[in-house]
Amino acid sequence: MAPTIDKLRQDHVNLARLLSILEQELAEFDAAGTPDYDILLSIAEYFLIYPDKDHHVREDLVYRRLLLRNEAAARRVGDLAQEHKGIARRVRKFATIIGHVLTDAVVQRTTVHGALSDFVEDQRRHMRMEEEFLFPAALNALTDADWSEIEGQIETFSDPLFGTDAETRFAELHQSLQAMASQDHPNS
């Protein structure tokens, strides 16, 4: 029983939905259209907040415990903390560029495309790696006591977008996600 892994997997489902929106907006941008920059900025803001406050904190705790229990398996994952720093750098770059566009600064189209596609690609690769190596290895190696201790170390953080009360600043993004969900499941 590892509710921590259930939570991390659910986060990945949520994050993948945001990445799908980013890909749709990127396709719109590449077709010489104008993407919804407000939505892009909201997604960037969410990625600036939630992973470092919650998702990465949980994963880093799991990884450190895996290092103790099965070092070889942890080595296959790589340096998770460094990966998370790299992801944080790319999301800051992406957010800065979108911010520049919204303040009418001159930004080359290739710069916007690059920041957006690098971020989506890197985030997807990172989540795939965790699902393939980190989560199964942790489920195999960690004990019930490990999971209890990890849970005890996590401070509750209310998810501002996918939590029970989405914050008003994410209202438009929340609506886009609901519209997407009703397209995917029209009869639900």
**Residues lying near Fe ion in the complex (CB under 5 A):** 59, 130
| Nearer Cβ to Fe ion (16/171) | 16
- Measured CA to CA, the distance from residue 170 to residue 173 in angstroms comes to 5
CB of 132 to Fe ion, least distance (A): 12
Could you give phi then psi for residue 185, rounded to 5 degrees? -130, 75
Name the DSSP class of 156.
Answer: P
Nearest to 16 by CA among 188, 168, 186, 184: 184
Residue with token string 């259930």: 6
| Nearer Cβ to Fe ion (59/146) | 59
- Measured CA to CA, the distance from residue 177 to residue 77 in angstroms comes to 31
Using a 10 angstrom Cβ sphere, with 0-12 exposed, 13-18 middle and 19 or more buried, the burial of residue 114 is: middle
CB of 177 to Fe ion, least distance (A): 19
| Nearer Cβ to Fe ion (45/59) | 59
CB of 102 to Fe ion, least distance (A): 28
CB of 138 to Fe ion, least distance (A): 12
| Nearer Cβ to Fe ion (29/47) | 47
Q: Given CA atoms 156, 56, 97, 181 in this order, what sign does their dihedral have?
A: negative
| Nearer Cβ to Fe ion (58/115) | 58
Where is 21: in which H helix or E strand?
Answer: helix 3-30
CB of 124 to Fe ion, least distance (A): 11
